[in-house]
Structure 1
Amino acid sequence: MSIADELKKLEGLRWNGTLTESEFAQAKAAILAQLTPVPESGAADEKLGEHLAAVRYQNELERIDREWEQEREQYMTTGKDGSRHVPTAGDGLVTASFTGVFGALWTILAFSIMDFESNFGPPLVIRIVFPLFGAVFAAFGIWAGIQTAQKAEAYTQAHAAYQRRRAALNPDSFR
């Protein structure tokens, strides 16, 4: 295992909480102490510099990836079976369509079976609440569908920004 790999592994252990800052510093010092003294030569210094640059570059990529994973969680939705997934505009369209159609049908049917002129049948309150339920259901479903579509669009924009941040990272800038 190269020094860069060992340092990368230590960084991962520190990040996930296995190592404290002081434990990390001690382990890092121990790894660096294992280096055999190299005569002053440009090639050895350059090789070590390349290793350190590679470690710094990988650490920065991992930091960007960790930040994205944390940010990504705010966009996730939970399905009826408890699974988590990224919303899509199609999810919003389906939600709005089904609930809107169901609510509209409920309202139409509720109005059609109610006889508002007759004194017989259900009380006036039920005659009003039943159709109103369908309208409220349709409105809520359409609102939920729009919210899902907006969340999907926000996710798409955030993911594109993450990819741009990652692509803009230049390995040569760590040398």
Structure 2
Amino acid sequence: MAGTQRELTLRFLAEPADVNFGGKVHGGAVMKWIDLAAYATAAGWSGKYCITAYAGGIRFVKPIHVGNIVEVTGKVIYTGSTSMHVAIDVKAGDPKDDARQLTTHCIVIMVAVDDEGKPTPIPEWQPTTKEDIHLRDTALRLMEMRKKIGAEMEAHVKPQID
């Protein structure tokens, strides 16, 4: 049911096909996992097909090794009328042990779309705990920063020549 499933975790083993020439999981594989978890989280919340509108602030903190158990957790931290901000944490560790280390973190914005690919309304998420209010406020601050960055990037795409 839409508006009830706010968090989701994908779990799997890092495979040899995921590694780079240095023997560690390459960033592209991690980014794919992030996109999959963001989609599953957003679809679970909205009850609709969702597309990725933005992925940013990706921080690769620690490497992931072949054979590690990988946990990719998505959590809705803000909703607009058709979009969801999903915080993603990637953790990994030896499957023979309970400990998981944070390896990657980012924010992904997903948009719910109808059968024609047009944005469609989603349930609103309201924070209730102090932690959730903090996460929502962080999402709002990041939204403002992205607007400023977008304006700066536009100046590079369309330079003003006097």
Q: Whose helix proportion is higher, 1 or 2?
A: 1
The answer to whether TM tops 0.5 is no
The structure with higher relative contact order (CA 8 Å, sep 6+) is 1
Q: Highest Rg: 1 or 2?
A: 1
Q: Whose strand proportion is higher, 1 or 2?
A: 2
TM-score by length of 1: 0.25
TM-score by length of 2: 0.26
